[in-house]
Structure 1
Amino acid sequence: MDELPIGRRVAYWRGRRKMSQQVFADRLGKSKSWVDKIERGVRRLDKFSVLYEIADILQMDVQLLLGKDPERRTDALNCIEQFEVEEIRAALERYDSVSAYFDAAPCPPPLADMSKAVTHAWLTYQYGRYGMLTRALPKLLRDAQAADAAYGGDQAQRAAHLLAQVYQISSSVLRKLGESELAWLAADRSIAVAQRADDQLLAGIATTRVCNALAAMGRARPALELNVTIANRLAPGGRNDTSPERVSVYGMLLLQGAMAAARIGDTATVEDLLDGAHEAAKELGGDQNHYWTSFGPTNVELHRAAAAVELGDGGRAVEVHLLKIRDAAFDALLPERRAHHLLDLARGYALIGDVANAGEMLLRGDRLAPSEIRCRPIAHMVMSDVLRRTRGAPPSLIAELAEHMGVGV
């Protein structure tokens, strides 16, 4: 990006923000012709006052607009930016294992250190600290790939297991931040590596990441079919064990299948899969976090509410929240799960026209895990809806959060 003329960078970031030239010109107080000439390099952009105004409209650091690395404030919440996406993309495009076949593998980190780093990354994700995680992912990917390429013998499966987890973490956070195609690539890599790790359950939970990415790209039906197929193969009982780990992975496959079914409006399948997940959750007795699933009775009800939202039934989502989810169990979940549910609940309230409660859910989610609200495109859509439908000036806390999110009326 830094080698592009500044006009091309303006055009690039305007496109990333999904603004037409006319909308951008209107917000800037300029003509569409002026914007077009700037972007084509016909007219120079050399006034700092205008540069800062453009950067503000595009919700970005002016240094990035100038082609320089932005200065990061330690006290600021940073969502992912394009240069970070490209770093992650570059790490995903490495093929250390193939290179190692022809030559010596790169010097890998000790597996004990890698294991600690992977656990830390999972917790960073489950606490909703997406900006911190995306900045750590490129190095974590490179280290895990180097370990997978270098270690053999008894350590090979452990190294593959860690790399598969790093791919899953990458897929999960990239999907949250709207990078669905990269999320699919990372999840697809995870399935292949999990097979080398000889762990069916790891491959099973990787399947849910693939299906989530497929659904985000508008391919909900194949996501539904794949989730159900793998759930049937991993189902507890028969020749399979009934360990809590297997029950958790099986339950999550059913839940993600239900979400995919909701995307295509298949209410009967949604209910069938949710009922199956509910029975699996009863086997566990409580919410647990095997394979980083957070699966259990409460998570089933969170997905029941989320599926209702996808089906367009906001009233049902609110009803599930009020009648089915116990406060103590909900408060015991990790921040990402709770904030995600509050975002779903905000969508549910918006569907029934209760923008006051929709805004309140966004505020509660922001207090729990700011990145879940401020960084996710779907949250921006909800906030825009709240602002648009609020009569008069929005409450001060809503206005402040909207400003932090970069969302205008």
Structure 2
Amino acid sequence: MNELAHTLIGHATPSSSPLELSFLRELSQEVRWVKAAYQACRYTEAAGRLPRVLRHLGQEPTALEEETRRLWLQVRADAYHVTASVLLKCDERGLAWLAADRSHQAAQATQDPVLVGSSIRVYVRALMRERHYRTAADLAVNAAEQLEPSTSLSSTASAVSVYGSLMLIGAVAAARQEDRTRALSLLDEAEQTARRLGGDHNHRWTAFGPTNVLLHRVSTAVELGDAGQAVHQARQIDTTRVAPVEREVVLHLDTARAYTQWGKLREAHEALTTAERLAPEELKERPMVHRLVDELRTRSTGHLKRDFVHLADRVGVV
């Protein structure tokens, strides 16, 4: 993570390799690999490969042809997007803001509404991490409204997916603001959008579709304090339909949070250990998870306390 931080703030030695079109295509494939690693919860691998990518993308292309420059901007937007996502997982909020801003600037320069909308998703998450929930919800909804005309074109899968994912993250932001009406309205809009898409897909790395809407209904219920409803909804989800590991792990973490709210600590432990089996790094790297495990360790007694102590040791809770 230190090398990634140094690269972001400009202390790393810039690469001298020329940014020709063929090499940019190689970097594009590398960014796709990093995004896949992120969705598989392999955050250490992702963070380890990003500095090289970012150093190369810090240069202007040697050729000024439109195709080369456009690809450079697209790869920059995607690379800084996934960089911000990794940093947010690790609660590196200042660095995440920097990466999110660079992603958005590159996306805006392409004038591609889908890429712009996609880059705003990580901006919204950064705002939420700073507890600016109303601003985050407003930004998500405004970005979706600007993208909406693109969802009616002949080739719409990516636009529809980004539009729907903006509605979902806006719903969670509204729930954290305790705006139940707005949160449920955005979820309903996302559900209608998922029907238009016609299934679960991963266009523009959104993992958007009917199943992801259900996952966000669980997240939103937890944020609104509806623990029983969250658990009920989680039980309705067919986890074999949840493609990215990161999304399934978040489901189990949300379920653990719901059980904690409900006072069912044994069930919370089971949900956490399921998440740990799927993706140990998700529990080791996320400060939010550490706080939850610490709370459960403090609240539990007897054999259950011992189990939480062991879990805390495994994931590195101090």
Alignment of 1:63-212 (within 5 A): 84-85=1-2, 87-94=3-10, 107-108=18-19, 110-146=23-59, 148-153=60-65, 154-212=67-125
How many angstroms apart in 1 are the aligned matches of 2:129 and 2:245?
A: 22
State the shift of 1:285 in Å: 1.6
Is 2:265 the counterpart of 1:350? no
State the shift of 1:201 in Å: 0.6
State the shift of 1:238 in Å: 8.2
The letter of the residue matching 1:107 is P
Q: Describe the SS at the equivalent of 1:265.
A: coil
Is 2:316 the counterpart of 1:406? yes
**Relative to total residues, which structure has the larger helix share, 1 or 2?**
2
Render the CA deviation track for 1:29-88: whole Å, top value 9, x for unaligned. xxxxxxxxxxxxxxxxxxxxxxxxxxxxxxxxxxxxxxxxxxxxxxxxxxxxxxx24x32
- 8 Å contact from structure 1 (residues 181, 217) kept in 2: no
State the shift of 1:234 in Å: 0.8
Q: Describe the SS at the equivalent of 2:19.
A: coil
Cα pair distance change 1:403/1:239, threshold 3 Å = closer
Render the CA deviation track for 1:267-300: whole Å, top value 9, x for unaligned. 0000000000000001112110010000000111
Is 2:238 the counterpart of 1:326? yes
How many angstroms apart in 2 are the aligned matches of 1:396 and 1:233?
A: 52
- 8 Å contact from structure 1 (residues 236, 246) kept in 2: no
How many angstroms apart in 2 are the aligned matches of 1:396 and 1:177?
A: 27
The letter of the residue matching 2:181 is A
- 8 Å contact from structure 1 (residues 224, 258) kept in 2: yes
**Bigger CA radius of gyration:** 1
- 8 Å contact from structure 2 (residues 43, 281) kept in 1: yes
Render the CA deviation track for 1:200-222: whole Å, top value 9, x for unaligned. 11110110100100110111111
State the shift of 1:94 in Å: 3.9
Alignment of 1:294-373 (within 5 A): 294-323=207-236, 325-330=237-242, 333-373=243-283
State the shift of 1:406 in Å: 2.1
Question: Which residue number corresponds to residue 157 of structure 2?
Answer: 244
How many angstroms apart in 2 are the aligned matches of 1:403 and 1:383?
A: 10
Q: Describe the SS at the equivalent of 1:394.
A: helix
How many angstroms apart in 2 are the aligned matches of 1:238 and 1:107?
A: 37
Cα pair distance change 1:267/1:129, threshold 3 Å = same
- 8 Å contact from structure 1 (residues 181, 213) kept in 2: no
Render the CA deviation track for 1:232-291: whole Å, top value 9, x for unaligned. 111157865561111100001101111110111000000000000000001112110010
How many angstroms apart in 2 are the aligned matches of 1:396 and 1:365?
A: 19
TM-score norm. by structure 2 comes to 0.92
Query: What is the number of residues matched between the two proteins?
Result: 313
The correspondence for 1:253, drawn from 153, 158, 166, is: 166
State the shift of 1:314 in Å: 1.5
Q: Describe the SS at the equivalent of 2:302.
A: coil
- 8 Å contact from structure 1 (residues 302, 341) kept in 2: yes
TM-score norm. by structure 1 comes to 0.72
Range that drifts further, 252-261 or 194-203? 194-203
Gaps of 5+ in 2: none
Question: Which residue number corresponds to residue 232 of structure 1?
Answer: 145
The letter of the residue matching 2:53 is L
- 8 Å contact from structure 2 (residues 128, 136) kept in 1: yes
How many angstroms apart in 2 are the aligned matches of 1:117 and 1:155?
A: 17
State the shift of 1:140 in Å: 1.7
How many angstroms apart in 2 are the aligned matches of 1:356 and 1:272?
A: 33
How many angstroms apart in 1 are the aligned matches of 2:257 and 2:149?
A: 34
State the shift of 1:139 in Å: 1.5
Cα pair distance change 1:283/1:239, threshold 3 Å = closer
State the shift of 1:224 in Å: 0.9
How many angstroms apart in 1 are the aligned matches of 2:277 and 2:171?
A: 29
- Alpha carbon RMSD of aligned pairs, Å? 2.2
Cα pair distance change 1:329/1:351, threshold 3 Å = same
Greater RCO, CA 8 A, separation 6+: 2
State the shift of 1:398 in Å: 4.2
How many angstroms apart in 1 are the aligned matches of 2:107 and 2:142?
A: 17
How many angstroms apart in 2 are the aligned matches of 1:389 and 1:328?
A: 33
The letter of the residue matching 1:380 is H
Cα pair distance change 1:211/1:241, threshold 3 Å = farther
The letter of the residue matching 2:18 is C
How many angstroms apart in 2 are the aligned matches of 1:346 and 1:377?
A: 15
State the shift of 1:149 in Å: 4.4
Alignment of 1:207-226 (within 5 A): 207-226=120-139
How many angstroms apart in 2 are the aligned matches of 1:150 and 1:370?
A: 42
How many angstroms apart in 2 are the aligned matches of 1:379 and 1:134?
A: 19
